[in-house]
Amino acid sequence: MIDLHTHILPGLDDGAEVMAESLAMAELALEGGTNIIVATPHSNQSGRFENYCSDALTKAFDAFERALAENYLPLKVYRGMEIYASWDMAEKIADGRLSGIGDSDYYLIEFPFDIDADSMGSMLESVLSIGKIPVIAHPERYGCVQHYPGVLYEWMMMGCLSQINKGSVFGRFGRGAAKTAEILLAFNLVTCIASDAHSADMRTTYMGDIRDALEERLDPEYVRALLYEQPKAILENRKIAFLGSPPVRRRRIFR
């Protein structure tokens, strides 16, 4: 599996605090069947977790790669960011201050949970306008998407992609997020599923549980697309076909 959203680099945000915890998260990823991971520290959070492209950020990534090798952990790691949305983020992307997933044209973007759909749509359009592709981080957790899941269909028709959290499927972010995740999965409005891991104890990098749960409910080819094929396409900067449909509330969610 490929996990595109983790807070595994130590000491950069509210994820891993020290290298030992980062290595424990790497071990859990491997145990769960993940062999490729993207380190996506929070970025563009003014006064909190800024983490713009810098020598310091590169050194933190390189140190983690060395620690993996020294501990014989065969986990391939790519660089990335979880970009906190702002009205000037397209400018910062164009200036090279914010980076994509694995240096691709795909950018993982997080929004305030209470943002309105119009503002969110405008921010997404600003990134699309410079030829970059937003990957919307955990859309199932935003109030505007929970209220009207069809808005995600509209954004994906524009060219955006979506990444839901494994914890949402298990109800760990509340009933609203869980129900919305079901709807998005049922209508093929999910590009990939990631851990959004923050530690080795809670919100972990272990993905075996979500793979098993989804294989009980969904077509195995769809599950493979969510956990491997489409994340791989993102890392390789390839185009992903959009096959989603607008949600119909009366439709049965899982077979």
Tell me the mean pLDDT in the region 71-77. Answer: 98
Residue 58 has pLDDT above 80, yes or no: yes
Looking at per-residue confidence, does 254 or 127 come out higher?
127
pLDDT above 50 (res 254): no
Q: Using pLDDT thresholds of 50, 70 and 90, give the confidence band for residue 18.
A: very high
Nearest to 195 by CA among 185, 207, 181: 207
Segment 90-143, tens digit of pLDDT: 999 999 999 999 999 999 999 999 999 999 999 999 999 999 999 999 999 999
User: Rounded to whole angstroms, how far apart are CA atoms 219 and 222?
Assistant: 5
The token pair at 171 is 């109800």
Q: Rg (Cα) of the chain, in Å, rounded?
A: 17
Q: What is the pLDDT of residue 249?
A: 58
Q: In the chain, pLDDT over 70 holds for what percent of residues? A: 97
CB 226 within 8 A of CB 193: yes
| pLDDT of res. 200 | 96
Over residues 247-254, mean pLDDT: 55
> Looking at residue 251, what is its pLDDT?
43
Asked if the model's pLDDT at residue 253 lies above 50, the reply is no
203, 239 in Cβ contact below 8 A? no
N- to C-terminal Cα separation, the chain: 24
- Residue 133, phi then psi, degrees to nearest 5: -115, 115
Condensed to tens digits (0 to 9), the pLDDT of residues 162-215 reads 999 999 999 999 999 999 999 999 999 999 999 999 999 999 999 999 999 999
Query: Confidence band (pLDDT; 50, 70, 90) for 248?
Result: confident
What lies within 8 Å, CB to CB, of 21 at 6+ separation is 10, 199, 200
**Contact yes or no for 251/22 (Cβ under 8 A):** no
Question: Does residue 255 carry a pLDDT above 80?
Answer: no
pLDDT at 250 over 90: no
